[in-house]
Structure 1
Amino acid sequence: MDSLLFLLLALAHLALLVWGLRLAARSGWRAADLPVLVVAALVYDNGMIAVGRAIGEGALLEGLNAGRFWLHAFVTPLLVIWSWDAVRRAGSPWAAKARARWAAIGLALALVAIELVTVVAGLELRVRDEHGALSYTSDHAGGPPLMVLVVAAVLVIAGAIVWRRQSWPWLLAGAVLMALGSGLPIPVPSAAATNVFEVLLLTGIIATTARQDALERR
């Protein structure tokens, strides 16, 4: 059952990827388009779990699943830079300053380093065979990684600012749902169900980029 759910999640992210690429093609690549890389990584992440049983247990599937953790470490912190850019585009004076841009870049790089050191370095994967889906996962304990918590907090703050300055609540809504989904234990029978929050968050992010593009064209 989970294999089908992860396939549907991969397709949902693929639709978001097409939307994000169309926005990027229309306006040219910029900081506002960084979430496209995150969405592409999530297509891979969910798709790999979806096809895990077809590939079968072994070194190949383990190596392909290790790629999920590497992609997560390098692309998820890019949402910090996107958050700064969204706040800047919303008209926040402090975000327009060069030091705000460099602070966002510095924080993103620091989060990449933290994730590599605390999660990816010495990564040990084990087989997970649940609800019909076969994958390899880590035994990372202690709740969500620090990187995820910091990115979620930054997105919540950015969402609140965008809502206040542009009357657009959907970034904040997606960020709050993602933060709750990451930080609270959710009693659901399927591991795929918690990944729905990622779809909601990225939908809010891509929609925010589309909204800000439309406002700037007026």
Structure 2
Amino acid sequence: MDSVLFLLLALAHLALIVWAVRLAARSGWRLAALPVLVVAALVYDNSVIAAGSLIGEGPLLEGLNAGRFWLHALVTPLLVVWSWDAVRRTGAPWAARAWAKWTAVGTALALVAVELATVTAGLELRVRDEYGALSYASGHAGGPPPMVLIVAAVLVAAGAVVWRRRHWPWLFAGAVLMVLGSGVPVPLHTNAITNLFEVVLLAGIIATTAFQDAREHP
């Protein structure tokens, strides 16, 4: 069952890429297009899990799953830079200053470094065969890594600013739902629920870009 769900999630993210690319083509490839890279990584992530049972256990599937962790470490922190840009586009005076920009860039680079050092370095993967989906998961126990928590907090904060200054609540709502979906156990026989909330979050991010583009280029 989960293989089908992850395939549907991959297709949902693919639709989001099409939307984001069309926005970027119309308004210009700039920082607002950064989510394209994040969504592309999620297409890969969900596709690998969906295809796991067809590929079968072995080095190929293990290598493909290792790629999921590397992509996650390299592209997810880009959302910190996107969040700063979204706030800047609201006209917040402090966000237009150089220190705000370079703080966002520095934070993103630091999060990449931390994730590479604490998660991907010495990555040990173990076979996981649950609910009809075969994949390799990290053997590291514990909750979400610090990088994910920090990125989520930045998105919630940015969403609150966009809501207050532009009366657009959907970035905040998507970020809060992502946090709740990741932290609150859901009694469903599936591992796809967190990935579903990722679709909701990225839809909120791309919708926010569309909203800001429409305000700047009516």
| CA displacement, residues 49-81 of structure 1 (integer Å, 9 cap, x when unaligned) | 001111111000000000000000000000000
Give the C-alpha shift of residue 172 in structure 1.
Answer: 0.2
List gaps (5 residues or longer) in structure 1: none
CA distance in 2, matches of 1:104, 1:75: 14
CA distance in 1, matches of 2:72, 2:13: 15
**Residue 164 (structure 1) aligns with:** 164
What residue identity is the alignment partner of 2:105?
A: I
Output the aligned Cα RMSD: 0.8
Q: What's the TM-score once normalised by structure 1's chain length?
A: 0.98
What residue identity is the alignment partner of 1:7?
A: L
CA distance in 1, matches of 2:190, 2:182: 15
CA distance in 1, matches of 2:41, 2:111: 17
Give the C-alpha shift of residue 116 in structure 1.
Answer: 0.6
Give the C-alpha shift of residue 104 in structure 1.
Answer: 0.1
Give the C-alpha shift of residue 117 in structure 1.
Answer: 0.8
CA distance in 1, matches of 2:177, 2:133: 25
What residue identity is the alignment partner of 1:104?
A: A
CA distance in 1, matches of 2:123, 2:71: 14
Is contact 1:186-1:194 (8 Å) kept?
no
**Residue 179 (structure 1) aligns with:** 179
What residue identity is the alignment partner of 2:65?
A: N
Is contact 2:171-2:205 (8 Å) kept?
yes
Secondary structure (helix, strand or coil) at the match of 1:191 reads coil
Is contact 2:65-2:136 (8 Å) kept?
yes
Is the counterpart of residue 33 in structure 1 residue 10 in structure 2? no
| CA displacement, residues 8-49 of structure 1 (integer Å, 9 cap, x when unaligned) | 000000000000111111122111110000000000000110
**Residue 117 (structure 2) aligns with:** 117
Secondary structure (helix, strand or coil) at the match of 1:123 reads coil
**Kindly, what percent of the aligned residue pairs are identical?**
77
CA distance in 2, matches of 1:166, 1:194: 29
What residue identity is the alignment partner of 1:192?
A: A
Count matched residues. 218
Give the C-alpha shift of residue 193 in structure 1.
Answer: 1.8
Give the C-alpha shift of residue 181 in structure 1.
Answer: 1.7
**Residue 147 (structure 1) aligns with:** 147
**Residue 80 (structure 2) aligns with:** 80
Is the counterpart of residue 13 in structure 1 residue 13 in structure 2? yes
Secondary structure (helix, strand or coil) at the match of 1:51 reads helix
**Residue 195 (structure 2) aligns with:** 195
Is contact 2:181-2:193 (8 Å) kept?
no
List gaps (5 residues or longer) in structure 2: none
| CA displacement, residues 195-218 of structure 1 (integer Å, 9 cap, x when unaligned) | 110000000000000000000013
